[in-house]
């Protein structure tokens, strides 16, 4: 249960970090939203791929 | 130990203020003042520089993150014993942390009505809000005081 809560809390904090950093870099709100979504997607994909790799490493090695 | 760190933080902020007054040119001094305002309240520095949209955005996002973190930790700031790294990180939030520190509202504790697993993320939220506020405050040095709705220079030159 705790790990699920941690996962749920990952989403808002990551979005806040990415959007604030992006807002520091540029002024256009559309660009900020697009780049935040892109970075969030990339970060989440890396996290998920890492999870899958670790899962298979633990299972078969 | 906590008192020493608090003094270091105050000394660092004071140093930035003195540097901004003594070393920067007249138009950059405004940025130094904006940094200090931004450190006190998220977004206030940008408001001071005329970037009100960014100021509102930073105030809402960082304020909500900070408040959510405090809600998870029983509305107490992070103590040195809780986590030394989070303790230092939260000082980016400025006045709120120092005020809580002076009033003795330190030492976060797990809320009895919430899961124990939410305690650590609460500390993280408070720390991240502080560190991000520091980034936002330093961002004030990037502007040269130009207002947000300035007309594009290229189009004017083409005409």
Question: pLDDT of A39-55, one tens digit each?
Answer: 999 999 999 999 999 99
Whether B132 sits inside 8 A of A20 (CB atoms) is: yes
* Higher pLDDT pick, B107 / B36: B36
CB B88 within 8 A of CB B5: yes
Domains held by chain A: number? 1
Give the distance from CA B113 to its chain's centroid: 29
Q: A23 is written with which tokens?
A: 């807002």
Whether B65 sits inside 8 A of A21 (CB atoms) is: no
Percent of chain B with pLDDT over 70: 77
pTM for this model (two decimals): 0.78
What sign results for the dihedral spanned by CA atoms B85, B106, B116, B61? negative
CB A6 within 8 A of CB B117: yes
pLDDT digit string, tens, across residues B94-145: 777 776 666 666 666 667 777 777 778 888 898 899 999 999 998 988 876 5
CB nearest B125 (choices: A1, A13, A27): A13
**Domain containing residue A13:** 2-60
**What is the average pLDDT across A26-44?**
94
Whether B117 sits inside 8 A of A6 (CB atoms) is: yes
Measured distance CA(B102)–CA(B9) in Å, rounded: 14
Measured distance CA(B19)–CA(B72) in Å, rounded: 37
**What is the average pLDDT across A7-34?**
91
CB B134 within 8 A of CB B92: yes
pLDDT band for A13, please (50, 70, 90 cuts): very high
The helix-helix angle for A2-25 and B119-139 (nearest 10°) equals 0
B65 vs A: CB within 8 A? yes
Which of B:35-54 have CB within 8 Å of A? 53-54
Whether A16 sits inside 8 A of B62 (CB atoms) is: yes
CB nearest B139 (choices: A3, A24, A29): A24
| Arithmetic mean of pLDDT over chain A | 90
Give the per-residue pLDDT at B157. 56
Start-to-end CA span in chain B (Å): 63
Of the candidates B131, B125, B136, B137, the one whose C-alpha atom is nearest the C-alpha of residue B67 is: B125
CB B58 within 8 A of CB B37: no
Burial B56-82 (b: 16+ CB within 10 A, else e): ebbbebbbebbebbbebbbebbbbbeb
**What is the average pLDDT across B72-90?**
79
């Amino acid at each position: 249960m705790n790990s699920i809560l941690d996962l749920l809390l990952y989403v808002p904090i990551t979005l806040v970090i990415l959007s604030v950093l992006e807002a520091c870099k540029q002024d256009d709100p559309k660009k900020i939203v697009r780049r935040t979504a892109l970075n969030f997607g990339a970060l989440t994909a890396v996290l998920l791929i890492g999870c899958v790799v670790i899962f298979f490493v633990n299972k078969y090695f | 130990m906590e008192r020493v760190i608090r003094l270091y933080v105050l000394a660092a902020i004071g140093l930035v203020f003195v540097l901004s007054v003594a070393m920067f040119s007249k138009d950059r001094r405004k940025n130094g003042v904006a940094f200090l305002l931004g450190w006190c309240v998220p977004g206030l520095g940008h408001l001071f520089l005329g970037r009100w949209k960014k100021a509102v955005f930073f105030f809402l996002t960082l304020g909500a993150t900070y408040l959510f973190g405090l809600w998870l930790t029983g509305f107490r700031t992070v103590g040195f014993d809780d986590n030394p790294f989070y303790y230092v990180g939260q000082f980016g939030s400025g006045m709120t942390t120092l005020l809580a520190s002076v009033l003795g509202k330190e030492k976060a504790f797990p809320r009895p009505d919430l899961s124990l697993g939410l305690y650590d993320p609460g500390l993280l939220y408070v720390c991240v809000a502080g560190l991000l506020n520091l980034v936002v405050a330093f961002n004030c040095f990037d502007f040269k005081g130009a207002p947000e709705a300035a007309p594009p220079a290229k189009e004017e030159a083409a005409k």
